[in-house]
Chain A
Amino acid sequence: GAGVSQSPSNKVTEKGKDVELRCDPISGHTALYWYRQSLGQGLEFLIYFQGNSAPDKSGLPSDRFSAERTGGSVSTLTIQRTQQEDSAVYLCASSRSREQFFGPGTRLTVL
């Protein structure tokens, strides 16, 4: 079946601009996660959605970062006033139980 999809696959933006990254989870998966991976590093947790519960935002690095999940499915991660240190690969994962499945990621480059 279809896996987790993310768009765009690559995004280049100028410092100070806002960006939106999209994640389509696997159908039927109630949990959705956002992570980011800086060059050569492991993944850093950002935010977690589970069903209709309030999201766990404990990993968001600053108030420039926000995320929504509409209708319990698609999620959008928004970064306002992007900075060069925001450059990374942003990965989305979804799960139905405990095993998480990852999308291909969005590579964000802030010039």
Chain B
Amino acid sequence: GIQVEQSPPDLILQEGANSTLRCNFSDSVNNLQWFHQNPWGQLINLFYIPSGTKQNGRLSATTVATERYSLLYISSSQTTDSGVYFCVVPFGNEKLTFGTGTRLTIIP
């Protein structure tokens, strides 16, 4: 099956800092989502981004499908950004393969 690797695995930042999270995947995809799992376990949709660039407030994402990677940018981070960020791609029938996740901790 498709492999999804995320980096870095852990990231600790001061409030206000910017960060870039990376997702590499092993095969071509027609669907890619970024999720934020908050400390209460809820999975929150951030972006549906099979290709191109999207922005939503302080967050933006870019997927370069031909090179099999996606980047999530978080600017001016806040403590509420803490949690685990998952890059997710489908395999067969749109079942999702979750990446290993990046655990982000924002320190006030």
Give me the interface of A with B, judged by CB distance under 8 Å.
Answer: 31, 33, 35, 37, 42-43, 45, 48, 50, 56, 58-59, 89, 91, 93, 95, 98-102, 104-105, 107
Contacts and interface: CB of A to CB of B under 8 A. Distances in A.
Q: Is the interface of A mostly helix, strand, loop or mixed?
A: strand
Interface string B34-61: 0100000111010010100000000000
B98 interface: yes
Contacts, number: 52
A76 B48 CA distance: 27
Interface of B: 30-31, 33, 35, 41-43, 45, 48, 50, 86, 90, 92-101
Contacts of A99: 31, 33, 45, 48
Given A98-B48, A100-B33, A43 B96 contact: yes
B39 to A, nearest CB: 13
Given A91-B43, A98-B50, 18 more contacts: A42-B98, A43-B86, A43-B96, A43-B98, A45-B95, A48-B94, A48-B95, A56-B92, A93-B96, A95-B94, A98-B30, A99-B31, A99-B33, A100-B33, A101-B45, A102-B35, A102-B42, A105-B41
B105 to A, nearest CB: 15
